[in-house]
Structure formats: C-alpha cells, structure tokens
Amino acid sequence: MPLTEAGIYAAALRLIDADGVEALTMRKLATALDANPMSLYHHVPNKEALLRGVARMAGAQFRTVALEDAPWQERIRLLATDFRTLAHRHPRLIAYSFSHQPDFIQHEDPFLVALTAILGAAGVPLPEIPETIALVCSVVTGVLTAELNGALHQWASIEPPAVPTADDSGSERPGPDEDRVFRLVLDTLVTGLESRLTADRDGQAGRR
C-alpha cells in the first residue's frame, strides 16, 4: 500500500505508544512502514512536524459529552476526567506534547470550546475567561504530567516525617492512588473557583 500522511502518523503513534517518543526514529518508522527512510520526507517535512501531526491526530480522538443541564462543577470534573482518559490512551505522546508543544491545546479544540462554555455557565465574567482557562489548563495538565511521568506516585508515597502516632502498623495505608489525588486536585480547583465566584457576586470589586 502507498505511503500517506495519515498512515505515517498512525504508524508513528503505534511506535510511540510502544516504546516512547525518544525511541521514535525516522529510520525505524520507515522500516515499520516497509519504506525507505527518505520516502517519508515526501509526506512530512521533518521529524518535528511529524510529531506535531501525530499529536494533532491523537488529540482529535478526544471525546466528551455536553451535559449542558448539569451544574458547572460536575461538568468541569467530567471534562477533566475525559481528558485524562485520552492521556491514558497515549501516555507517552501526551506527556511529550504537554512539555514540548505549547499549542497542543488549541483554540478550536473541543476541550477548550467546552471549557469556555462551562466557565461562562459558571458565571465567570467574560474578561476573566482567558486567565481562568489558563488556570484550569495549567492545573489539569500539571496533574496529568505528574501522573504520566511518575512524579505524582512519588509525591503521594512520601512518608509523613517522624511523629509515629501510636501504633500505625495495622492501618496499612492503601498505597498511593493516582485516582484519588486526581480527584483531590479537581475538588480543590472547583472549590477554589467557587469561592472566587461567590466573592465576586458579593460585590468585592478590586482585583489585584
């Protein structure tokens, strides 16, 4: 079968899922496609563009349901959880994209469209929408990056220093649980947003 841009991206994504972005090589990709390494360059200008294309293709798999009638708190939780599902599907690529592709989450993406709608429904004033988008995206990509690269696990496994309160050996802490910390981050984000909105409504004008 002939080489196509989409076929190249799909093969690259398979290799990345299997061995990570750093192991992806134009030469290995060509071998996987049963092609000459140089043939790739007729469909993709260079390796960086290849990785952007793969990320765009994987990002297009993002799906979320609208739930327009639910409270905004629930909607934003669902949106973040759906994003996490995508991250789990292609962890190596998504981790790479978060750190190397500042434009991975783009204006027209369903994620941002949904987020903007939710923040509007929550009552965030229009001029504060962009900075609130930045806030939410930072927090969500932050916790997902930490989960994907293992930092979250390490942090959550840190033993409380000293102060062994009586006998703790029987309680058997259930072990670090990424799900739990992810929910904790979402709870904190939502609660923090709620407080800001309430304060705004109560008439506090000046924001420094």
Partner DNA sequence: ACCTGAACACCGTTCAAGT
Residue 19 interacts with, from a second copy, DNA, none (CB under 5-8 Å by kind): none
Nearer to a second copy, 35 or 92 (CB): 92
In the bound state with DNA, the residue whose beta carbon lies nearer, of 43 and 77, is 43
Q: Confirm or reject binding of residue 206 to a second copy (CB under 8 A).
A: no
Contact residue for DNA among 46, 106, 157, 188 (CB under 7 A): 46
Q: Cβ 172 to a second copy, closest distance in Å?
A: 12
Containing 186, the helix (H) or strand (E) segment is: helix 178-201
Under 8 Å between Cβ of 13 and 52? no
The answer to whether residue 169 forms part of the interface with a second copy (CB under 8 A) is no
166 binds a second copy (CB under 8 A): no
**How far is 44 from 37, CA to CA, in rounded Å?**
12
Whether 87 and 94 have beta carbons less than 8 Å apart is answered as: yes
| CB contact at 8 A, 105 and 137 | yes
Furthest-apart CA atoms within the chain: distance in Å: 69
For the record, the structure tokens of 92 come out as: 């190596």
Q: By CB under 8 A, name the binding residues for a second copy.
A: 95, 98-100, 102-105, 107, 112, 116, 126-127, 129-135, 137-143, 145-146, 149-161, 163, 165, 173, 176, 180-181, 183-185, 187-196, 208
